[in-house]
Amino acid sequence: MDKSSYYIKMCESAKVIQKQWNPDFGDFFVSMSSGRTSPCLSLVSELEKKVSYLKTIKAVWLPRQDQLQEMVIEKYATPWDLAIAFSNVLMADNASYFDKFDSMEKLWLAFIMRETHRKKWKDGEWVS
């Protein structure tokens, strides 16, 4: 799981992805108030209390690779088709763009933002 400051910035800037977050047990987030990265624990069982708490600490969701893949899997007939599409995009003319992402989470987030939202990571923000 990527918890680097670079990935945190990518996730924080991906507002469209942050809006999709429905906090659940095992999700990772960073408190922008304290800078601590933590998993969601089952200590707060009621979703409304959990969401309220996460807003208070200015939580930013750090999607895991499987969660990122779930965001786009329905567009493909099989997981194999998704893997092929992912590979084709990374290996095409975009190879130099994707080369800067050094974790699977960063690669998948960049893939999703490009393929689904037509945005690229440039100078610390997602741009069209």
Would you state the pLDDT for residue 122?
96
Which structural domain, as residue segments, surrounds residue 61? 5-127
pLDDT of residue 111: 95
The reported pLDDT for the residue numbered 43 is 54
The 10 Å Cβ neighbour count of residue 62 is 25
Half-sphere exposure of 125 (CA within 13 A, CB side): 2
Give the model's pLDDT for residue 53. 77
Residues of the chain with pLDDT under 50: 44
pLDDT at residue 39, as a whole number: 86
Would you state the pLDDT for residue 116? 93
State how many domains the chain has.
1
pLDDT value at residue 60 = 95
Query: Which pLDDT score is estimated for 120?
Result: 96
- Rama region for 28: left / alpha / beta (φ>0; ψ in -120 to 50; rest): beta
